[in-house]
Structure 1
């Protein structure tokens, strides 16, 4: 059973998400929080697998709460936002979030996202995440020190480049003429060598290091 905590300052939003998730046989909503500080407290107390985190909340915002949760627990954080180019989401991703969702998503998208993240993967919506990171980096909001990529092999570097461009494992495999299993191995190696939590952080690292520049495309984005 997947345990989920919902953090949003709007009771109707919390209730709606809770109703959708509770209808699933493999998901249990273990708690709700109206602000970031409460989200951190409940995460520590209830140990959810996934936290749905709003960005703009009183007392403590979603960015600070995400940072605290990712630093102190193994819970995976999915950031919720009203805007697909909300600049604050970039900060949440670098704080350790495993992806983000638009609040106008379909029910099946919400359920699928929770399962993907709970399974240890990251949620990369190319139509949103890639544009967000490119937009933020193009305005100069990058880390002061580039992420070192010297330890990566040529294949791992190319895999990271394709991940950052928003390609799925299947598309990367086709582009590099290897199997999906090989791509997964390369991705795991990249994350381990760079000390990254998941694919979202890999995308951030690729932009911050200059491996991929805003506006680059590497093929069709996954749907």
Structure 2
């Protein structure tokens, strides 16, 4: 599997081996900017793989394991991977369900392989455009979700009130950039819970 400094690390999970092998080979042969680091037929293989979490996961909507698409997408998001959902079933309901779960892009399996490459690049550019939440921001978010005020959070973490406000603002910007605005405290906690960042 190839590797370049600026390449996007990709994981592919599809329980049809012919499609999996075809997409993996096509991506490795036709996209020097995409590095396939995981190519597996099952969800549990994906999350247990040493290279998990890649930058982007290309995920079949329907896998053998009885794990919902919502759970799979949110697990990837919480681990730091964005998701492209591919499916042989292409209805408005399926598209909406995939995107509502947090997938960056939905691609019908009737599309050409280049459509998957484009979708991965779209998700990758989205990821590069967002600063990852640093540990302090995650700590701020968790304490905020626990009901602490910004002043109390600052005292507990040993950071200034302004730093706490900046962390919360960056987290809100992070969600707004993904089309999942979190204007109120309740919205912010709900978004974080959806991503597995708070319980």
TM-score (norm 1): 0.51
1:195 and 2:175 aligned = yes
Question: RMSD of the TM alignment (CA)?
Answer: 2.6
1:26 and 2:33 aligned = yes
1:95 and 2:75 aligned = no
1:63 and 2:43 aligned = no
Residue 175 of structure 1 is matched in structure 2 by none
Residues 123-176 of structure 1 show CA distances to partners (whole Å, capped at 9, x for unaligned) of: xxxxxxxxxxxxxxxxxxxxxxxxxxxxxxxxxxxxxxxxxxxxxxxxxxxxxx
1:37 and 2:17 aligned = no
SS of structure 1 residue aligned to 2:70: helix
Alignment partners' CA distance in 1, 2:98 and 2:48: 18
User: 1:6 Cα shift?
Assistant: 0.5
User: 1:93 Cα shift?
Assistant: 2.0
User: Which moved further from structure 2: 49-58 or 77-86?
Assistant: 77-86
- Quick check: which has more Rg, 1 or 2? 2
| Kept in 2: contact 1:55–1:89 (CA 8 A) | no
Alignment partners' CA distance in 2, 1:63 and 1:9: 18
User: 1:18 Cα shift?
Assistant: 0.5
| Kept in 2: contact 1:4–1:29 (CA 8 A) | yes
Q: Which runs of 5+ in 1 are unaligned?
A: 122-188, 203-223
| Kept in 1: contact 2:47–2:53 (CA 8 A) | no
| Kept in 1: contact 2:104–2:123 (CA 8 A) | yes
Residue 163 of structure 2 is matched in structure 1 by none
User: 1:107 Cα shift?
Assistant: 2.8
TM-score (norm 2): 0.57
SS of structure 2 residue aligned to 1:108: helix
SS of structure 1 residue aligned to 2:84: strand
SS of structure 2 residue aligned to 1:4: strand
Residues 48-99 of structure 1 show CA distances to partners (whole Å, capped at 9, x for unaligned) of: 111001111112343321121112x111100011122163443332222112
Residue 17 of structure 1 is matched in structure 2 by 23
